[in-house]
Amino acid sequence: MMAMGLLLLTGLVATASEDQSALRDHSGGMVVVSPLIGSNRDELKLPARGPGMPATTLTDDALEYGLYAMYVHPRIVVNNFFFYTEPNDAEVAGNLTFVNLYGSPEHNIKWNVGAGYLWHEIKTAGPTIKVNAPMVKVGGVFRCPKLHLSLNPYVGYLWEGIEVGSYESDTESMLYGVTLNWHWRMLMATCKYYMQDDQDTDEQYNVVRARLAVFANDTVGLLMRAEYMEHSTSDDTSFLIGPVVVF
C-alpha cells in the first residue's frame, strides 16, 4: 500500500489561496490536522519462498487508522500522512512526507515542483516487507476561478527500495499524474490519478484518490477520503472519515 501520498487535498495550496470564502485569512500560513478511521481491503502479495511455497495473495478487510498534518502557505505546502491497519494477521504501517512548491498564486497558469519520501512496512507471520521510496515531480497548475477549479498535470520519478526478509531489490519508475481540485465556500474536493511505470519490470500500477472536506465554519469540518492503489507488494482499497481542524 503506497500512500502518496495526502489527506485533505494534497493540492490544497493551488486552491486555498484562490478562494478563502469559507476560511478566515491564512495568508501567513495555516496548519491542518485530521485524525481518520475507516475500512481497508488489502490484497497482500507474498513472493515464492522455495519449493512447496509458491507465490500467494492474501485478501482481508480490516480497520484502518490515519493521521494527517499539513502546513499551507500561499506558495508552499508540506504534508505528512501516517496510516496503520492489520489485515491478514499482519501489521501494516506507513508514512508519507511531501513538499510542494508553486508559482505565484495570483496567476491562472503557474509551475509546480515537489519532492516526497515514503516509508512502508508490512509485518507478517513470514517475511517482513519494507518499502522506502523517495520521489520528485514537476508540472503545471491551470486554474479557472469562475468554476473554482484547478488542474495540475505532472510527471515524476520514483526510486523504490524493497526488502522482503533478507531479499532486497531496487526499482525506478516514471510517474504520470493529474490532480483536479475544487474549492467553493464550505466545500473542498479533489480527484487524483497517477500511474507508476516501473522501468525495470515494465509493469504499470494505477492509483485513484478522491477526497471531500465539508466545513461547518472556518475552523472545523469533516473529511472523507477514498482510495484505490495498486503496488508490487499489495493492492488496497480504503475509505476513511474523520474531523478536520484548521489552525
Write out the E strands in the chain: 30-46, 56-72, 76-85, 91-102, 109-123, 128-144, 149-164, 167-184, 187-198, 204-215, 220-230, 234-246
- The cell for 62 is 480490516
The whole-number pLDDT of residue 230 equals 86
Q: What is the pTM of this model?
A: 0.79
Over the stretch 99-143, which tens digit does the pLDDT of each residue have?
Answer: 999 999 889 999 999 999 999 898 988 789 899 999 999 999 999
- The cell for 47 is 513472493
Ordered structural domains, the chain, with CATH: 13-46+62-246 (2.40.128.130)
The whole-number pLDDT of residue 38 equals 97
Over 80: is that where the pLDDT of 30 sits? yes
**Please, is 191 exposed, middle or buried when counting C-beta atoms within 10 Å of its C-beta (0-12, 13-18, 19+)?**
middle
Of 192, 168, 171, 169, nearest to 180 (Cα)? 192
The whole-number pLDDT of residue 13 equals 35
| pLDDT category of residue 10 using cuts at 50, 70 and 90 | very low
Tell me which of 231 and 144 has the higher pLDDT: 144
Over the stretch 165-210, which tens digit does the pLDDT of each residue have?
Answer: 888 889 999 999 999 989 888 898 989 899 999 988 888 999 998 8
The whole-number pLDDT of residue 28 equals 66
Tell me which of 48 and 150 has the higher pLDDT: 150
Over the stretch 85-105, which tens digit does the pLDDT of each residue have?
Answer: 998 788 989 998 989 999 998
Mean pLDDT calculated for residue range 24-33: 72
Arithmetic mean of pLDDT over the chain: 83
